[in-house]
Amino acid sequence: MKLFNKRFRKIMSRLAILMILGLTALIVLILQPQLMFGKQMDYRTVSIYANEDITAEIEPILDSAISLIAQSELYDPDYHFDVFLAHNTTYNVLDSRLMGSWAAARAIDNNITIKVKTDVRKRLAILEGNQLELTYVIAHEMIHCLQNHVFGKWAFNPLNHPPMWKMEGYPEYIGRARFASMDSSELREEVAFYLQHRPSHELDLLRLDDEHLTPNIYFKGKLMVEFLIEIKGLTYAEILDDERTEQEVWKDMMNWCHR
């Protein structure tokens, strides 16, 4: 019996070590997935990885994305992004199993994973009939990288992060580029559109038009961040420090809209 117990403990110990090593290897691959891609192209402060040929058609998309994030207070001209075109790759399968498959794209540290099919020539990311501007998707995820870079991993991680409207609203605000030409009448129009078309649950999708859907909380967060920056004059850092609840900020915006 003692011999059996000793062998059993030894087997379990080895299994535990193998499990730890396997999990560690998966985490390393998620954070450093370059080895799983056969093609690489470097352009400005971005490295693009894929298993298919990467053409120069992606350069103007990256130019547009960088132009968008350059207008953010978080922008660091020396920060390097790694972009992975991961649709139909083994890495995408691993990422989905570890992190979930619901997202069209994901940002971890300085890595941006585009999980869905991309059409670089048409500048689109395509998810089950929902067409997203590829420039917008990349710029949105770049801002997530910069949130982590500026405020730290302890402030922005899956287990500890600001409220969703603050965390997702700012990348939406930057990625959709409304601030470049926004005035108060256009913001009021967008709020009116949202009030008319918003779904019943904040995690449901809001239909912007026939081909474009977005998570409800993303668009609502964009409106609130837009309001606080454009109308109230706050910085994003001040928005993060603002202790008012989502309901209080929303009420403030509604009062402004109905003036």
157 class by beta-carbon count within 10 Å (0-12 exposed, 13-18 middle, 19+ buried): exposed
pLDDT bin (cut points 50, 70, 90) of residue 111 is very high
The pTM of this model reads 0.86
pLDDT bin (cut points 50, 70, 90) of residue 186 is confident
123 neighbors 113 (Cβ within 8 angstroms): no
Q: Residue 178: is its pLDDT beyond 60? A: no
> What is the per-residue pLDDT for 243?
93
For the stretch 131-158, pLDDT in tens is: 889 999 999 999 999 999 999 988 888 7
Give the residues across from 134 on adjacent strands: none
For 84, the enclosing helix (H) or strand (E) is strand 81-85
For 81, the enclosing helix (H) or strand (E) is strand 81-85
Closest CA to 145 of 180, 171, 165: 171
What mean pLDDT is reported for the chain? 87
Q: Residue 181: is its pLDDT beyond 60? A: no
Closest CA to 54 of 41, 37, 73: 41
For the stretch 52-78, pLDDT in tens is: 999 999 999 999 999 999 999 999 999
42-76 as b/e, with b when 16 or more CB fall inside 10 Å? Answer: ebeebbbbbbeebeeebbebbebbbebbeebebbe
The per-residue DSSP string of 89-141 comes to SHHHHHHHHHH-S--SEEEETTEEEE-SEEETTTTEEEETTEEEEHHHHHHHH
> What is the per-residue pLDDT for 157?
81
> What is the per-residue pLDDT for 80?
98
